[in-house]
Amino acid sequence: MRPFIVAIDGPAGAGKSTVSKLLARRLGFDLVDTGAIYRCVALMARRESIAFDDDARLGELLGRIRIHFQVVGEENHVFLDGQDVSGEIRTPENSMAASQVSSRPVVRSGLLALQRRLALEAEKGAILEGRDIGTVVFPDADAKFFLEASPEVRARRRFEELFQKGVESSLEDVLSDQTKRDRDDSARAVAPLKAAEDAVRMDSSSMPLSEVVHKLEDEIRRRLARRGA
């Protein structure tokens, strides 16, 4: 029997990363941050001065990229070719770059196998967070969720996250970048951001993320028990 697969999709700032990390810890599941994978591709392309629409060079890059995750303390760290790039991949500049490279069909198709392999290697189960997990990567996931929040709430969360990391920005700039990313992610021709038809949708605008975690955990445990029976 394959590992229990949980798909958590939604726009930037909806709380996917925090919720996924806490769920993985509480359930003993592996955590696969698919957004971080695309961010690593963007970072590597920037380092090698590869244009974000150069499909030939992006395809060649995908054949060389090596990514793995490792829990360090309470954080899920991301390693690119053995280097911890957890902070570098989440700067505003790299976030916008990731949105651009993720729209390229060669990148999305090239990373499908990697995302699926990382999840299926889990012993018990895997939490995958992203924008097309329940629609493309694992359309047959055992549980699908789509997290939402108002644009203002999402921008505020992102701004506070950047502030805590010492990244200079303004709330207006964060909201502007987020609006563009939302538009790009939803309008792209390949694997656009959208909720799967059978996904459980949850708006966290006025809900503590701890409550979101409890609600999702209860649903996952119900489905786990059903599968075990």
- pTM comes to 0.83
Q: Which pLDDT value is given to residue 99?
A: 86
**Across all residues in the chain, what is the average pLDDT?**
91
Q: Where are the alpha helices (DSSP H) in 121-170?
A: 151-164
Per-residue CA distances from 31 to 24, 67, 155 (Å): 6, 13, 24
| Rounded Cα distance, 156 and 208, in Å | 14
Tens-place pLDDT, residues 53-94: 999 999 999 989 999 888 777 778 999 999 999 999 988 899
- The answer to whether the CB of 86 falls within 8 A of the CB of 167 is no
Q: Which pLDDT value is given to residue 227?
A: 86
Give the mean model confidence (pLDDT) for residues 39-45: 96
- The answer to whether the CB of 182 falls within 8 A of the CB of 154 is no
| Rounded Cα distance, 18 and 168, in Å | 22
Per-residue CA distances from 2 to 107, 109, 124, 140, 143 (Å): 26, 22, 8, 12, 14
| Whether residue 229 has pLDDT greater than 70 | no
| Rounded Cα distance, 210 and 40, in Å | 28
142: which DSSP letter? S
190: which DSSP letter? S
| Among candidate residues 23, 34, 186, the one with its CA nearest the CA of residue 117 | 34
| Whether residue 104 has pLDDT greater than 60 | yes
